[in-house]
């Protein structure tokens, strides 16, 4: 049976995540110690004690989510070494977690890289100037069109194609507000503003992407041990320069999650495992294709009930 490992991104974080897993599995706190050594502060303490506003700052959320995903991945490797995926992918920030898991970059490289990514993103659009919102109940084309109609001289774009009927938009706050109102007028079932500090994956992130490219240019990447499908192109790359280019593009271009899961299905994947806090991707994937099994692993209960199929 072909399987895939998928890793969540920002939005899945919560105070106290992985706490019970850490009590039984010392690998969890080992990973966070490695991350803390890179960052220069106690990341595990922030994750466990907050405050929530601090954890939700993007330059902290990103290392926290990467460390969490890799902690779960390493625990799973230790408990079930025979479970080797055919493909990996991650949603937005989760793409970096997948690259660490696939051996393209080390954990230390990944932590430093996403902390810098978060800093550059926040620098590109100061807090309060950008916004994101989820639009439910309209098709992709409708959302793209209403963004075009709402932008004026600002930016608002469809940036996360999460499921059929769920698209996230991002851009300047005023333009996002206009698009939200128009979406409601067009018959959206629900329009939900997202609690984020930066408008990810839209054109406002291009300056951050250009600076990220400079950071990436000096880094040494290895070829992946398992193919990783990238958010923007839904392709897997072997060459380090292609992977770096995909990471740069991902900052200011949309996350094609529906197409990613469809690509996994077309390549014979029958089951995926979501590794990391929460069950956000599990919910998305079930709405994309209920025929593909998915199992989230994020705590002791989900780990103990893990089912491995031949």
Residue numbers annotated as active site? 92, 201
Pairing of strands 269-275, 2-7: parallel
Return the H-helix or E-strand segment holding 5: strand 2-7
Closest to 156 in 3D by CA, of 188, 136, 181 = 181
| Strand, helix or coil for residue 305 | coil
Is-contact 278 305, C-beta < 8 A? no
Residue 85's alpha-carbon distances to 140, 259, 267, in angstroms, are 30, 19, 12
Q: At residue 74, what are phi and psi to the nearest 5 degrees?
A: -70, -35
Tokens 């990436």 appear where? 216
Return the H-helix or E-strand segment holding 158: strand 156-163
Tokens 């499908």 appear where? 229
CA distance 107 to 4: 20
User: What are the tokens at 279?
Assistant: 């069950």
Is-contact 146 183, C-beta < 8 A? yes
Q: How many Cβ atoms are within 10 Å of 263's Cβ, its own excluded?
A: 17
User: What are the tokens at 43?
Assistant: 């990341």
């Amino acid at each position: 049976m072909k399987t895939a490992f998928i890793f969540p991104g920002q939005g899945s974080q919560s105070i106290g995540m992985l706490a019970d897993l850490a009590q039984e599995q010392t690998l969890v706190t080992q990973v966070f110690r490695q991350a803390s050594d890179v960052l220069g502060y106690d990341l595990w303490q922030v994750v466990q004690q907050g405050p929530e506003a601090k954890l939700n700052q993007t330059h902290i959320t990103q290392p926290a989510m990467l460390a969490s995903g890799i902690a779960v991945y390493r625990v799973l490797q230790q408990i079930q070494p025979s479970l080797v995926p055919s493909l990996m992918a991650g949603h937005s920030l989760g793409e970096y977690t997948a690259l660490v898991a696939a051996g393209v970059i080390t954990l230390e490289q990944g932590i430093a890289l996403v902390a810098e990514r978060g800093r550059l993103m926040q620098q590109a659009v100061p807090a309060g100037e950008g916004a994101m919102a989820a639009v439910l109940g309209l098709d992709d084309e409708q959302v793209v069109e209403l963004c075009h109609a709402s932008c004026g001289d600002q930016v608002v774009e469809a940036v996360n194609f999460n499921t059929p009927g769920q698209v996230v938009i991002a851009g300047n706050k005023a333009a996002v507000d206009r698009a939200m109102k128009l979406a409601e007028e067009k018959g959206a079932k629900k329009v939900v503003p997202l609690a984020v500090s930066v408008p990810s994956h839209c054109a406002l992130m291009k300056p951050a992407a250009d600076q990220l490219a400079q950071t990436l240019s000096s880094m040494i990447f290895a070829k992946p041990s398992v193919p990783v499908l990238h958010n923007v192109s839904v392709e897997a790359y072997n060459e380090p320069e292609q992977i770096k280019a995909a990471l740069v593009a991902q900052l200011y271009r949309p996350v094609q999650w529906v197409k990613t899961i469809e690509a996994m299905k077309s390549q014979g994947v029958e089951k995926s495992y979501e590794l990391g806090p929460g069950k956000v991707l599990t919910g998305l994937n079930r709405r994309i294709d209920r025929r593909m099994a998915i199992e989230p692993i994020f705590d002791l209960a989900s780990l103990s009930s893990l089912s491995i199929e031949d």
